[in-house]
Amino acid sequence: MLDQEKWAETVLTVVGLSAVAILGLIILFIFKEGLPAFTQVGLWQFLTGTDWLPSKGKLGILPMIAGSFMVTAGALLIGLPLGLGCAIYLSEFATPRTAALLKPTIELLAGIPSVVFGFIGLTLIVPFIRVFFGGPGFSVLASSLVLGIMILPTMVSVSYDALRAVPLTYREGMLALGASEWQTVKMVVLPAARPGILAAAILAMGRAVGETMAVIMVAGNSAIVPGSVLDPVRTMTSNIALEMGYATGLHRQALFATGVVLFVIISVLNIVARAVVRRK
Amino acid sequence: MKALPISFLARARIYSKRLTWQLVALLIMISIVLTGCRLRSRVGNATITIAGSTSVQPFIELLAEEYARSYPDRPAVNVQGGGSSAGGRAVLTEVAQIGMLSRQPEGPEQELTVIPVAYDALAVVVNPQNPISALSSNKIRAIFSGAVAQWSELDQTKGRIHIVSREEGSGTRAAFDSLIMANADVAARAIVQDSNGAVREIVAHDPHAIGYISLGLVNHRVKAIQVDKVQPTQANCRAGKYTLVRPFLFVVKEPLDAASQEFIDFVLSEYGQKLLAEHGLVAVNSNS
């Protein structure tokens, strides 16, 4: 009995450590491949340069940093209110039967491959924007719409769980005091579930920043800082995925360096967001 | 009976700190060994691996299928994409026997043996609704560099020109840069797509778009325009009249194994070249 216990412990330790080891190896590899580009181009020049023409030796990723931020912000602007609203409805207002039907349907969204979202964006959203708003259609707006829908399942299920975790007695107490259902939600349930909702937003943001395939298909991938939401845009992940297959030498290192920048940005965002959650 | 595992575990617990590091070291070793095995098994294997340019890939896939049908006893040919640079790297690191390039070899690729297998013409394409059917190469350069931004500067059509280009490092892009753009840069606001098919798709749907793709991939959904008054056709390429032509190359590392050589011979044979010509490429030996 005892040695079985210890075996289990050892095996699980190995499994657990291997996940950490893989992460460590990935970080090591990306930094090893990417750091030469920083020393060759210059960190500041690399981060603030607005021209990305690797064949001419111009390696500035400011357009891609701006692109990632704009597209992610747009996706959150669309996905957060929709997702939170949906979660509130499911948790507070829907009858159990409706909720039992809707929740799995929304979670099914998470199972759709990103290339399918990209294809829908390409065949529906891009032409729609081109015809009704002008421009090429491939734009910040198209990417934000596609990503906004893609982050819905994360946003809905995590914030739904947070809302459900608020004890029923809180609601009962509020209702007993004569508050309406919406007042209860606004004044008691939402504040109590705030850390969980923030966690949902963080996860959704991570998904939006990291998504590559769908964005490549609808963003247009121009290496410019977009002047409006109808301008094409290139994100950091798209930049890496688009050009990695063909890149050699400094160009390849610059793509890994883009990965390093992305890694640092995501880590910082996560640390900040976690600190916010913990402070409540 | 179970003395061994207990004593092992007891030691493991005592040295658990050291064990952690040993595990990390072990994982690193395993990953290195696995990478090594993969390289070795590929080269020692009976199949021929070809990797590289996605422009060349569909044509070589076609020939590989035909090769398997004609010579079922010979080693199978496995064709992969990845891009010209990935192809060159794959041959240099001996992951693949043959690399496909749609541009001239660069850097370390120049050590490899180069075998031209066909020529491909670049067609400048617009939407079929666009009244323009001919442009000079100077005008094309002006459009793609952003100097000419409105269709009205070229004819009566209204609207902003939507330039569709390929990503940096793509063979098609490199060919377009050297054949048309000379020293000018493609405008940064150009839409960038990662395949000929995606460029064709956009141009087919957007009346304001202009792009460039392989002549072999032009179909009725896009309009290939005359460049300097010459229609892009195979005959005009062979006659040397149409000048937007780039080579499709194989690169190999000497000495080449017999199986790969046999496939290359098949590609260069009269039959292989005829198949490539049927699919829109220009054969290397112009008599076929």
Number of domains in chain B: 2
> How does the average pLDDT of chain B come out, rounded?
83
Q: Are strands B209-214 and B113-126 parallel, antiparallel or unpaired?
A: antiparallel
Asked if B152 and B224 sit in the same domain, the reply is yes
Asked if B97 and B78 sit in the same domain, the reply is yes
Phi, psi dihedrals of residue B243, rounded to the nearest 5°: -105, -5
Mean pLDDT of all residues in A165-190: 92
The interface predicted TM-score (ipTM) is: 0.78
Is residue B200 one of the residues assigned to a domain?
A: yes
Size (chain B), residues: 288
Mean pLDDT of all residues in A214-243: 92
Q: Do B169 and A246 touch (CB under 8 A)?
A: yes
Asked if B153 and B232 sit in the same domain, the reply is yes
Asked if B85 and B153 sit in the same domain, the reply is no
Q: What is each CA distance from A229 to A67, A133, A141, B150, B162, in whole angstroms? A: 10, 10, 5, 21, 16
Res A25 pLDDT > 90: yes
What are the pLDDT digits (tens) for A115-143?
A: 999 999 998 999 999 989 988 899 999 99
Instruction: Select the residue from A64, A246, A251 to test the B interface by mutation, using most B Cβ atoms within 10 A.
Output: A246
| Residue A79 in contact with partner chain B when CB distance is under 8 A | no
- How far B209 CA sits from the closest chain A CA (Å)? 8
Q: What is each CA distance from B273 to A265, B62, B164, B234, in whole angstroms? A: 51, 12, 31, 13
Q: Give the pLDDT score at A54.
A: 86
Q: What is each CA distance from A157 to A90, A116, B26, B29, in whole angstroms? A: 10, 21, 39, 40
Token pair for residue A77? 């602007």
Asked if B257 and B229 sit in the same domain, the reply is no
Asked if B140 and B220 sit in the same domain, the reply is yes
Asked if B127 and B226 sit in the same domain, the reply is yes
Token pair for residue A113? 């491959």
Contacts of A224 in chain B (CB under 8 A): 188-189
* More reliable by pLDDT, B31 or B109: B109
| Residue B103 in contact with partner chain A when CB distance is under 8 A | no
Res A70 pLDDT > 50: yes
CATH architecture of A52-279: Orthogonal Bundle (1.10)
Asked if B193 and B139 sit in the same domain, the reply is yes
Which is nearest to A259 in space by CA: A232, A243, A239, A234? A239
Domain containing B222: what range?
A: 121-238
Contacts of A127 in chain B (CB under 8 A): 205
Which is nearest to A224 in space by CA: B192, B177, B180? B192
Strand ranges inside chain A, DSSP E: 52-53, 58-59
Asked if B155 and B192 sit in the same domain, the reply is yes
Secondary structure of residue B221 in the 3-state scheme: coil
B64 and B35 in contact (C-beta within 8 Å)?
no
- Domain boundaries of chain A, sorted by first residue: 52-279
Mean pLDDT of all residues in B166-184: 86
> How does the average pLDDT of chain A come out, rounded?
90
Is residue B64 one of the residues assigned to a domain?
A: yes
Asked if B211 and B266 sit in the same domain, the reply is no
Q: Do A245 and B85 touch (CB under 8 A)?
A: yes
Asked if B160 and B175 sit in the same domain, the reply is yes
B281 and B122 in contact (C-beta within 8 Å)?
no
| A220 DSSP 8-state letter | B
Asked if B126 and B233 sit in the same domain, the reply is yes
Mean pLDDT of all residues in A258-262: 94
Buried b (16+ CB within 10 A) or exposed e, A70-100: bbbebbbebbbebbbebbbebbbebeeeebe
